[in-house]
Amino acid sequence: MGERAGGTPLNLVELLAGPVERAARGLLGCRLSAGGVTVRLTEVEAYSGTGLDPASHAHRGRTPRNEVMFGPAGYAYVYFTYGMHWCMNVVCGVEGEASAVLLRAGSVVDGLDAARARRTAVRRDVDLARGPARLCSALGIDRTFYGTNLLDGRGPGLLVPPDGPVGEIVAGPRVGVTGAHDLPWRFWIAGDPTVSVYRRHVPRTRPSGKVL
């Protein structure tokens, strides 16, 4: 079982039932297994719920798409983006109050051949799960993971605590969001080569200077 600072055992059920920011930090170093591949999570982003976080999919309330975000904690919220990519979040917080943590990047620690077979265009192993869409591709994550339990071992994915020291955790602005983009709710393991290169969101403007 993984441990927090000070040697306290990490209980994922307890962690994910708590505040989203704490849950995001605690997910770093955890291992996610699916499709014959295991990744060690190295970068995540926290998203709060209704009315609180304009970048959250639950900002405007409950919909068929974001239903699972309202709990219980420990389930997978999977969505399709740009018409081509799957991304996965881990639901957290109090049931009925939507929040989730986007899994942004990881390092492949088991099932390397399977990950390479899914990511044939990738030349470097460090890039196999570097980015939320790449992570899902390497693990074979798709719509079938939506609403499945990631903690009980009965679903297609399994999330377990770290099996060793996590390292220094750094916080900074989120990537690619149009609202609250300067909120320091992206967390990553310092110095890990699988972490994304940060690019701040720049709003597009009309010729008149009005923000689009």
Look up residue 138 and give its amino acid: A
Task: Annotate 104-127 with DSSP letters as a single string.
Answer: EEEEEEE-HHHHHHH-TT--SGGG
**Where are the chain's structural domains?**
12-189
Could you tell me how many residues make up the chain? 212
pLDDT tens for each residue of 63-82: 777 889 898 999 999 999 87
- Looking at the domain 12-189, which fold is it? 3-methyladenine DNA Glycosylase; Chain A (3.10.300)
pLDDT tens for each residue of 101-146: 999 999 999 999 999 999 999 999 999 999 999 999 999 999 999 9
30-51 burial by CB neighbour count: b if 16+ within 10 A, else e?
bbbbbbebbbbbbbbbbbbbbe
23 alpha-carbon distance from chain centroid? 11
Name the pTM for this structure. Answer: 0.86
Answer whether 79's CB lies under 8 Å from 57's CB.
Answer: yes
